[in-house]
Amino acid sequence: MVKELKFVDTTLRDGTQSLWASESRIGMVEAVAEDLDQAGFQVVEVPLMPYNFKKIVRDLKEDPWVLAKIVGEKMPNAKKAFMGEPGLVLFELLETPPSVAKLFYDLLIDRGAINRVQTMANIFGNLKTDFPWFLPYLRSKGVETAHAIAYSISPRHTDEYFANKTKEVVANKPDVIYFKDAAGLLTVEALRRLLPIIIENSNGIPVEFHTHGTTGLADELYIEAMKLGVRTLHTGIPPLGGGSGQPSIFTTIENAKYLNLGHNLDIERVQRVSDRLMAIAKADNLPIGAPLEYDYSQYIHQVPGGVASNLRHQLQGMNLHNRVDEVVEESIRIRAELGYPVMITPYSQFMVTQAAINVATGERYKVVIDELIQFAAGIYSEDSGYLMMDQNLKDKFLSLPRAKELHYEPVEDMPIKKLKEQFGGPTLSDEEFMLRYIMKGTKDIEEMRKAGPYRQYFSASTPLVQLLDKLSKQPEITHLQIEDGKSSLILTNN
């Protein structure tokens, strides 16, 4: 069997985003990091985006710099991927001075926490917010760049569009191109038509394939992608493979056998990761990825799995969990009015957030998020679709009082030393400054630190110690006998 296939593991980043509302706790990552590092994946995605920082601090009450340290130390061999863009704080692209964005990347790269940056959508290279230093900087740090060509369905997303978009991406000279089906919209017929167009125009740059299981077609799409010559696929490890995430690595390699394609993965280590995450999912009552039935509605609303997962989580907190369908329907209307943006970060979040506000207030656009006002002003470039935006809606957004307060050009760069003065003074460590910058102050950080040390799960290095610690806290267990075949040890819990 020819061992040609390589895999980008999405378990800890896209897997948790799609299935667990980005519940990537430090202890969860720690429990599987060493095995993921040595399992033979071409790339391992890690949850260290600014979005993850906010989630980890605010919701999980943990320190993301501890996570970055663990990733760097326990995964020294793996190529670790980060969903990146030159603006630092997602959805606030105009607010970030280049010095801050560069510091954030410096801290992660120098820790060994990331060494591949993946762009998110078909917008890179022509935003007002793009920084000319970004790609040369990444190359100078030895970081691999992977540029996405994101699939979407709309009147303007034609075959010619994808051919031209591939040529634009090639001009940026990335190391890798990945055809990204974030909402799981591709059909086999569409893939057969578009993937050869992308490969033909890729100028020899390797093309990877990434899809989601939201319509139940993902496994069939991966078979077809392999037939068309793709040799690197994005997969997840159960319980974070399947469902609305990427296809399961186990299903993919089993199917590949019938195409005479093999791999070099250490399946024993991959299975160990799966076993630990499955135990965590069951203990914490987290969803377990399972094949989804064909869902035609996905082609109508096009909301990505990760966005839908977080939407349900957020609406639950707002006591609006019974109005998910209304929000999705409203997002469909908003997308058409905005000129059909690609349903991918950050646009999908914009539309779903505004849809939730419209539904919650009972009046369309009574409250308008800043990002859509900036969208109307054109900061997201022609490719966002804003030139096809409903003119009456554009006029409405730009006539709002808030529109006069927002600026539409990137802020001027400022030295980090001067910026630190705004967040606590020159003695702040770089890490503490970045936390305060991302969280817009200290309140959430203080709450995080009050919560104490992060929760630990079983890890590859200390399973027995952790098991004994857990058992010692169970009053109903009075004796424990451990045998290894040759000797026996009896412990008493007094």
Domain boundary among 405, 430, 451: 405
SS3 state at 2 = strand
Tell me, yes or no, whether 257 and 207 share the same domain.
yes
DSSP code at position 92: -
Domain boundary among 373, 405, 437: 405
Q: Residue 263 sits in which domain range?
A: 6-283
Give the pTM.
0.84
Tell me, yes or no, whether 252 and 398 share the same domain.
no
Tell me, yes or no, whether 67 and 124 share the same domain.
yes
Residue 445 within a domain: no
Residue 166 within a domain: yes
Tell me, yes or no, whether 248 and 315 share the same domain.
no
The C-alpha atoms of residue 207 and residue 230 are separated, in whole angstroms, by: 7
Residue 125 within a domain: yes
- CATH code of 336's domain: 1.10.472.90
Residue 451 within a domain: no
Residue 237 near residue 277, CB atoms below 8 Å: yes
pLDDT at 460: 47
The gap between the terminal CA atoms of the chain, to the nearest Å, is 57
CA pseudo-torsion sign 216, 343, 188, 271:
negative
Tell me, yes or no, whether 155 and 24 share the same domain.
yes
Count the domains in the chain.
3
Tell me, yes or no, whether 112 and 216 share the same domain.
yes
SS3 state at 280 = helix
Beta bridge partners of 53: none
Residue 424 within a domain: no
Tell me, yes or no, whether 248 and 314 share the same domain.
no
Query: The tokens 């349900």 sit on which residue?
Result: 312
Distances in whole angstroms, Cα of residue 122 to Cα of each of 43, 302, 307: 22, 16, 18
The C-alpha atoms of residue 108 and residue 220 are separated, in whole angstroms, by: 36
Residue 441 within a domain: no
For 315, how many CA atoms within 13 A lie in the half-sphere containing its CB?
23
Tell me, yes or no, whether 93 and 143 share the same domain.
yes
Residue 45 near residue 86, CB atoms below 8 Å: no
Tell me, yes or no, whether 278 and 302 share the same domain.
no
361 burial type by CB count under 10 A (0-12 exposed, 13-18 middle, 19+ buried): exposed
Tell me, yes or no, whether 257 and 358 share the same domain.
no
pLDDT tens-digit profile, the chain (494 residues): 667 999 999 999 999 988 998 899 999 999 999 999 999 999 999 999 988 999 999 999 999 999 999 999 999 999 999 887 655 444 455 567 888 889 999 999 999 999 999 987 665 544 444 567 788 889 999 999 999 998 988 888 899 999 999 998 898 899 999 999 988 889 999 999 999 999 999 999 999 999 999 888 999 999 999 999 999 999 999 999 999 899 999 999 999 999 999 999 999 999 999 999 999 999 999 999 988 777 766 766 677 665 666 666 667 766 777 888 888 889 889 999 999 888 777 788 888 889 989 998 999 999 999 989 988 988 876 667 778 899 999 999 999 999 988 876 767 889 999 999 999 999 999 999 999 999 999 999 999 999 999 999 975 445 555 566 556 666 777 776 766 666 666 766 66
pLDDT at 380: 76
Residue 211 near residue 184, CB atoms below 8 Å: yes
Tell me, yes or no, whether 261 and 325 share the same domain.
no
Amino acid at 160: E
- For residue 209, report the phi and psi dihedrals to the nearest 5 degrees: -130, 140
pLDDT at 92: 57
Tell me, yes or no, whether 312 and 276 share the same domain.
no
Give the Cα-Cα-Cα angle 66, 426, 447 (nearest 5 degrees): 40
For 259, how many CA atoms within 13 A lie in the half-sphere containing its CB?
22
pLDDT at 126: 45
Domain boundary among 219, 250, 283: 283
SS3 content of the chain, % helix, strand, coil (to 5): 50, 10, 40
- CATH code of 64's domain: 3.20.20.70
The C-alpha atoms of residue 204 and residue 207 are separated, in whole angstroms, by: 9
| Nearest Cα to Cα of residue 40 among 213, 378, 269, 218 | 269
Amino acid at 227: K
pLDDT at 214: 87
Residues near 463 by beta carbon (within 8 Å), at least 6 away in sequence: none
Residue 348 within a domain: yes
Residues near 333 by beta carbon (within 8 Å), at least 6 away in sequence: none
SS3 state at 235 = strand
The C-alpha atoms of residue 303 and residue 453 are separated, in whole angstroms, by: 36
Residue 290 within a domain: no
